[in-house]
Amino acid sequence: TYQTITVLHQDDITRVALNRPEVMNALNSRMRFEIAAALTALPPGTRCVVLTGTGRAFCSGQDLTDASAGMDVERILREEYEPMLKAITSAPVPVIAAVNGVAAGAGANLALATDIVIATESASFVQAFSRIGLIPDAGGTFIVPRAVGTARAKGMMFFAEPVSARQAADWGLIWEAVADAEFESRVAERAAMLAQGPTQSYLAIREAVLESASNGIEAQLAVEARLQARMAATADFAEGVGAFLQKRRPKFSGR
């Protein structure tokens, strides 16, 4: 049983909600461990994960009441943040971040580590780190410049100001910003789509997109050929082609 998150499984979707609303879901050691544990031991039948926050924030980043000069930050990042992030980036199903409110510091980069980020319009993303004399961690210096370019990345990181969900979507930092009133239904709709989709395709797309960050075209064509050969052997490929030819909706099994 978890103390800092809630996990709810329904209709093939597992909803993991950060649950320390009194501190805007700040990450402490236990929460990092629990997020990693939840993502690596998903309930059987999970075809999509929705990561969200309880209350008015998504996540305010490192719990600053736990942080102090002289702490072993390198150990915390390597032994606590990294397993949490890797649990997300290697989850066996697609992961959606449903950013219900502010995502600050490592909380922003936690959201950005997922496959698809959907934010409510009143949410914002803050690379807060330099306000307290740190640099972005939790993968921020990898993902943000690749998404928005170095000029906007460094602006976000130097000024450490909130970037609205709308701006984040316009810049290509996230998939979409949704009006607050429609946010929950949009997340549910997208999660259902992914939960009914070809899971193996999503995982291979994730892998290919990640590899593209460091590959040239030759190497990337080889990645595509290797992964596509794997896809062509899946039941979902047979189903997808069969459904197309029979002019019906495919029924994907995730295999």
User: Helix %, strand %, coil % for the chain, to 5?
Assistant: 50, 15, 35
Beta carbon of residue 239, minimum distance to ligand T3D (angstroms, whole number): 43
Residue 93: CB minimum distance to ligand T3D, A = 26
Question: At closest approach, how far in Å is the CB of 149 from ligand T3D?
Answer: 23
**Rounded Cα gap, residues 115 and 173, in angstroms:** 12
Of the two residues 129 and 202, which places its CB atom closer to ligand T3D in the complex? 129
Q: For residues 182 and 132, what is the distance between their CA atoms, to the nearest angstrom?
A: 35
Nearer to ligand T3D, 87 or 204 (CB): 87
Q: Are strands 176-178 and 163-164 parallel, antiparallel or unpaired?
A: unpaired
Q: Which is nearer to ligand T3D, 16 or 26 (CB)?
A: 26
CB-wise, 104 or 227, nearer to ligand T3D? 104
Q: Which residues bind ligand T3D (CB under 6 A)?
A: 23-24, 26, 60-65, 67, 73, 76, 102, 104-106, 126, 128-129, 132, 134, 137
CB of residue 60 to ligand T3D, shortest distance in Å: 3
Distance CA 119, CA 56 (A): 13
Number of H helices, E strands in the chain: 11, 10
